[in-house]
Amino acid sequence: MQRVDLPIVNDLGYYEMRLESIGGLGANLCGKLLGELGAMYLGLGAASFASYGSEKRGSPVKSYIRWCRPGKEVRINSPVHHPHVLGIFHEALLDSYPVLQGMTEHTRLIINAPCKQKHWPAQAEIVDAGALAMRYKSRVNMVMLGAIAKATGLVSLESLKELISHTLGQRYPALLASNIKGVRAGYDVVDERAPKGDAAVYESEKPRRYEEAATGGVITCIGNIVTHDLSASREGWIPLFHPDRCIHCGLCDSTCPDMVFQFAVGEQGPVNRGLDYQHCKGCLRCVAVCPVQALTAVKEREWPEKPYALPNQSLITADIPMEASGANSWMSSEAQETERRIEE
């Protein structure tokens, strides 16, 4: 076991991490592994938990991890507001959600993206986890696990290999070698020394408390699928539609969890016009169910201009209020409010 001490902690004695993701990229499992890494392989006190809706894939997912010095216990279970390490599992989150809230100039920021954008914080470190995962036949969360662990400056690659071998290796022995390659790839990308960060602190609006919600606990923020972009949950693959092969049987539409396929009225019945990629989560169920291979799995980067991409913009009406980022993911509880006052 690699035993470490924590050189940096906050006022409550914790080293904290927060993972911001879209369901389907594996942030929940990554957070669990980071918690287990601290408790079982670094000799630290540790806790982790995630926050997500009833159907994870395509919806916002947050994972929180806390470590504390040996001999102490993690005594709070509220969300992490000011993380030492912040992992963004898809670049699209930066334009849709306040994922940078609570970040300071000292936060190690890891973003899964092909390249860095000018408007991102100066300390953003880019890890093309999607490309690396496909190269080594691993998963995005394995690459991000290696990158985030390296960003802490506390974890050796050997400890990560031991963690993966004793957890995922027992469940999925055939994937062990690929997962270790993915972890190593993410670990090697991140620099041990943190880049100089912005002095600004990214704060968000104060979360509403339950007492401030409408009578009966009704959440007045309307969730919707029309304007909500679910493409960030894809892991590098998309279903490609071949209209010349399609027999218009409708099996793709019946199996799709988000009703992305568009049909028109034809002389001999409904005609499949293709799918709306904005709302496609990349589950590839349609590819599996198609009896004539009118839908095939292809690498998304090889098709930057997707054919037959039919958006559902016609469904948007002035009578229904729409929000670009869907419903709020959580409201603050009394316990979370207490912690905020302690921090202040």
Q: Which helix (H) or strand (E) holds 187?
A: helix 176-189
Buried b (16+ CB within 10 A) or exposed e, 257-292: ebebbbeeeeeeeeebbbbbbbbbbbbbbbbeebee
The pLDDT value recorded for residue 163 is: 94
- Summarised one tens digit per residue, pLDDT across range 213-260 is 555 555 555 455 556 677 777 878 899 999 999 999 999 999 998 888
Beta strands in the chain (DSSP E): 14-22, 45-51, 60-68, 85-88, 108-112, 124-127, 237-241, 261-266, 269-275, 295-299
pTM metric for this prediction: 0.75
DSSP code string of 226-288: SS---GGG--SEEEEE-TTT-----HHHHH-TT--EEEEEETTEEEEEEE-GGG-----HHHH
Domains, the chain:
14-204 (3.40.920.10), 231-315 (3.30.70.20)
Distance of alpha carbon 291 from the chain centroid = 32
Length of the chain: 344
Structure tokens at 209: 């408390």
If you search the block for the tokens 């006052």, which residue do you land on? 341
- Summarised one tens digit per residue, pLDDT across range 109-136 is 999 999 998 889 889 999 999 999 999 9
| Number of other residues whose CB lies within 10 A of the CB of residue 4 | 20
pLDDT of 191 above 60: yes
Q: How far apart are CA 311 and CA 227, in angstroms?
A: 9
Q: Which residue has the higher pLDDT, 100 or 92?
A: 100
pLDDT of 325 above 60: no
Percent above pLDDT 90 for the chain = 44
Cα angle value 116/117/122 (rounded, 5°): 75
Q: Given pLDDT bands bounded at 50, 70 and 90, which one contains residue 264?
A: confident
CA distances from 24 to 186, 208, 225, 231 (A): 19, 28, 17, 11
pLDDT of 204 above 70: no
Q: Given pLDDT bands bounded at 50, 70 and 90, which one contains residue 184?
A: very high
Nearest alpha-carbon partner for 108 in 154, 43, 143: 154
Average pLDDT over residues 141-167: 94
- Chain mean pLDDT for the chain: 82
Average pLDDT over residues 51-66: 79
